[in-house]
Chains A and B, each alone.
Chain A
Amino acid sequence: MAKRIDVSGLSAYYGPFRAIEDISMTVEPRSVTAFIGPSGCGKSTFLRTLNRMHEVTPGGRVEGKVMLDAEDLYGTGVDPVTVRREVGMVFQRPNPFPTMSVYDNVAAGLRLNGSYKKSQLDDVVEKSLRGANLWNEVKDRLNKPGSGLSGGQQQRLCIARAIAVEPKVLLMDEPCSALDPISTLAIEDLIGELKQRFTIVIVTHNMQQAARVSDRTAFFNLAAVGQPGRLIEIDDTERIFSNPSVQATEDYISGRFG
């Protein structure tokens, strides 16, 4: 059920400004692909093009192709809403819906897309919360507000919310940057488990994290401020961190970037 992503010749714009340029890559199903690179190099922008969230930003525009298995996300007649059901997303800061309980947060994706039987929902909520390693911590307070959880729990709640609609791909935009080390570890463990079911793409600033969780790593860079970001290389994580084929990657990883 996890799907392959095949990007070719993709550029994204904010109004007249080209944020990323001519990116092509393949993301394998049931694997974790990490995006690393300096701030402003367009990794988050690129991530957001993979479920058509980029166009939500005013002035956001995309050129190129993103194939999800055999379908082009940007093909004519494609409904971005359906795309986002197929390609889920977890954000930098935990963002549970403040008006909803833990239970309602997880059920939100299904409920907001149509009506469901209570028993069905119960199953999905429990399964998703277990899937996010959160069930044991919240099973006694499913009806409490989701915003009452700790930051790490909130982020796992958001992951549970994302996987409850059974997407094929899960995009994570620096999911641990607002969390403490212990919560970070919990999320990293979770990513390792989730990759058995989903195609996962994660943006991270933390190179150790990329090395720990990902199978493949893509390095993004930009020539100068104001220039579009580009994909420098993508390879097996082990190779990127030990013997990258591009000098810039090695400079960045070894901290000689500047």
Chain B
Amino acid sequence: MSTVVQHPGSLKGARLPKWSPWAIAGGSVAVSVGLGLAAGIESRIQWGLIASLLFVLGTYVLAARVEGRRQAKDRIATSLVWVAFLLAVVPLFSLVWSTVERGVKVLDVYFLTHSMGVVGDSEPGGGIYHAIIGTLEQVGIATLIAAPIGVLTAIYLVEYGRGALARAVTFFVDVMTGIPSIVAGLFILSLLLILDMSFSGFAGALALAILMMPVVVRSTEEMLKLVPNELREASLALGVPKWRTILKVVLPTAVGGITTGVMLAVARIAGETAPVLLLVFGNPFINNNPFDGAQASLPLYIYQQYANSAGSEAAYDRAWAAALTLIAFVMILNLAARGIARWKAPKTGR
């Protein structure tokens, strides 16, 4: 290459040095901080926005001068993509950070083991025991309803389903996936109104089950489709009836993925607030019976601590602590689900 340097049409064009993006980034941050201080702009968000703008513009101008227009366009795309990424990281990071930072304030054993029974909404003290009980019961019941129906439906679609019924089921499972959670809540509410029944954890669980079923069907379907047809044929060729083939060969092969899908669905409905608000209503006391009377639940607790306390710091602290608990619960479920997926992944050996 060295021999063709300086030659017209050389392979080596003028390039910005490798450290240039960092330098430009540093420069634009410095300038934006200077501008921000000078102009007295308070919001750090604006500092960041100015810095990103300077970074993108600076990159373009420099690159256009040194490397030419095409390279400059490439550079500007690169810097835009980076900026977009950083821009998105800020709120997401802030979300996690503030939940953890504020959540740990009151999160302790007392908080986890006491209810709000004797504590006013704006007073300090109290805990989320009743809400944890409610969430576990409602999500548990919903899972007991939705998981078998979802898995069986997926089995029907993959192993048996052809024809109009299967197509209809596939279509409406898609439709169901898109139902807003509050609409599922309203549906059960309309049932309650018609049957003249009142709030209960069970009613909430029914709405959660509606939200969970299509998710379970979809994920189970994907997993069953991954089971190679050869295994089904091998089993059938041994003279094993189809239902036993499904139960003893197909399902065990896919069980890891199915479990993962169910757990992810559980994690999703555990955070649902809207249907619980409509159907379970909330209750500061411990109610262990999901079939009778209003209950609490973690997401609902967060909302009510926020909404009903007229800005009391104590209530906000409890809301953050409950949010941290809920996030921890959901994350643990997620991580466990992924762990199972990896651990139980069919070993091909080939």
Contact = CB atoms under 8 A, between A and B. Distances in A.
Interface of A: 51, 53, 56, 58, 81-86, 88-89, 91, 93, 95-99, 108-109, 111-113, 145, 147-149, 151, 154, 158, 161-162, 165, 167
Nearest to A148: B349
B233 A91 contact: yes
Contacts of B347: 98, 145, 147-148
Interface string B206-250: 000000000000000000000010111111111111101100110
Contacts of A85: 238-239
25 contacts: A56-B232, A81-B239, A81-B241, A81-B242, A82-B239, A91-B233, A91-B237, A93-B230, A95-B231, A97-B234, A98-B253, A99-B253, A99-B346, A108-B240, A109-B240, A112-B240, A112-B248, A113-B239, A145-B347, A148-B347, A149-B349, A151-B350, A158-B234, A165-B238, A167-B239
Given A112-B244, A113-B238, A145-B349, 6 more contacts: A81-B242, A84-B240, A89-B233, A89-B234, A98-B349, A112-B235
A147 B349 CA distance: 5
Contacts of B180: none
- A-B complex: 9 closest residue pairs judged by Cβ atoms: A85-B239, A147-B349, A89-B237, A109-B238, A95-B230, A84-B239, A112-B240, A99-B252, A95-B234
Nearest to B240: A112
Nearest to B254: A99
B228 A95 contact: yes
Contacts of A109: 238-240
Nearest to A89: B237
Nearest to B239: A85
A97 B253 contact: yes
B315 to A, nearest CB: 51
A148 B347 CA distance: 9
Contacts of B237: 51, 53, 84, 88-89, 91, 162
Interface of B: 162, 228, 230-242, 244-245, 248-249, 252-253, 346-350
Nearest to A80: B236
Contacts of B240: 81, 84, 108-109, 112-113
A56 B233 contact: yes
A86 B252 CA distance: 26
Contact of A91 (B230, B346, B348, B349): B230
Given A108-B238, A113-B240, A162-B237, A58 B230 contact: no
Contacts of A113: 238-240, 244
A235 B252 CA distance: 45
A96 B234 CA distance: 8
Contacts of B228: 95
- Best-buried of A86, A98, A108, A167 by chain B (most CB within 10 Å): A98
A81 B235 CA distance: 10
B238 A112 contact: yes
A53 B234 contact: no
- Best-buried of A97, A149, A161 by chain B (most CB within 10 Å): A97
A202 to B, nearest CB: 15
B238 A88 contact: yes
Nearest to B234: A95
Contact of B231 (A53, A98, A165): A98
B241 A58 contact: no
B257 to A, nearest CB: 12
B284 to A, nearest CB: 48
B231 A112 contact: no
Nearest to B244: A112
Contacts of B349: 98, 145, 147-149, 154
A162 B245 CA distance: 15
A84 B236 CA distance: 7
B233 A98 contact: no
A164 B244 CA distance: 18
Contacts of B239: 81-86, 88, 109, 113, 165, 167
A247 to B, nearest CB: 36
A53 B238 contact: no
B162 A58 contact: yes
Contacts of B253: 97-99
A116 to B, nearest CB: 14
- Best-buried of B162, B233, B238, B242 by chain A (most CB within 10 Å): B238
A73 B346 CA distance: 35
A53 B235 contact: no
Nearest to A88: B237
Contacts of A112: 235, 238, 240, 244-245, 248-249
A98 B348 contact: yes
Contacts of B231: 95, 97-98
Contact of A108 (B162, B235, B241, B346): B235
A219 B239 CA distance: 29
A36 B148 CA distance: 47
Contacts of B241: 81
Contact of A84 (B162, B238, B244, B252): B238
A109 B346 CA distance: 21
Contacts of B346: 98-99
A89 B235 CA distance: 10
A49 B16 CA distance: 70
Nearest to B247: A112
A158 B240 CA distance: 15
A148 B350 CA distance: 8
B191 to A, nearest CB: 39
Contacts of A162: 237-238
